[in-house]
Amino acid sequence: MRITAGSLRGRVLHIPDVPGLRPTPAKVRQALFNILGPIDDFRLLDLFSGSGVMALEAISRGVSSAVSIEQDRRQTRDMEEIRSSWGLTESWQIKALTVQKGLSLMEGQQFDLIFADPPYRQGIAEKIPLWLDEHDIGCDHLIIEESASESPLWPKGWLCEQSRSYGDTCLHFLIRAAEE
């Protein structure tokens, strides 16, 4: 699979055709970053990273650091090769772990942006805010990608400010609810 990354400094990623791997399409990435606006100096946590294209896009748009968590070793090896060949060893960390294990290692950290692209239609999207709460991980923006055919029920303490659909992909923009 070949992906032309919208703003990735004109580079082209060659993504292997791996069952279950769904890199976020360029039009969805562009829409997401247009909605977010400037992300200079943000800290990004990319969960269920897959190909790493979301972290690469964010780095190309100015985030100061990105942490990608992906359990598939083949995918993390591919991301590590890209990180090395593109000279991103200082700004991009790649962790070959399950998301739950990765979050436990990030206990108490704060991120400006957390992006999660879990497997579609498995009820995982709804669990992500709970896992962040469980590990006291803070964020200013939480974006969860899920199938547009799903309507996740977000846990208490989280509000979905907006949801935007692009074909079969839906981006949910969540924030923590104000404490009463």
Cβ 25 vs Cβ 51: under 8 Å: no
| Residue spans per domain, the chain | 2-176
Query: Could you give the CA distance from residue 91 to residue 104 in angstroms, rounded to a whole number?
Result: 21
Q: What is the pLDDT of residue 21?
A: 53
Q: What is the pLDDT of residue 177?
A: 86
Q: What is the pLDDT of residue 10?
A: 56
Tokens of 172: 């949910």
Cα–Cα distances (Å) from 133 to 1, 116, 150, in that order, read: 36, 15, 23
**Confidence (pTM):** 0.88
Cβ 53 vs Cβ 23: under 8 Å: yes
**Which CATH number does 2-176 carry?**
3.40.50.150
Q: What is the pLDDT of residue 23?
A: 67
Each residue's pLDDT, cut to its tens digit, for the chain (180 residues) gives 333 444 455 555 555 555 555 567 788 889 999 999 999 999 999 999 998 999 999 998 999 999 999 999 999 999 999 999 888 989 999 999 999 999 999 999 999 999 999 999 999 999 999 999 999 999 999 999 999 999 999 999 999 999 999 999 999 999 998 765
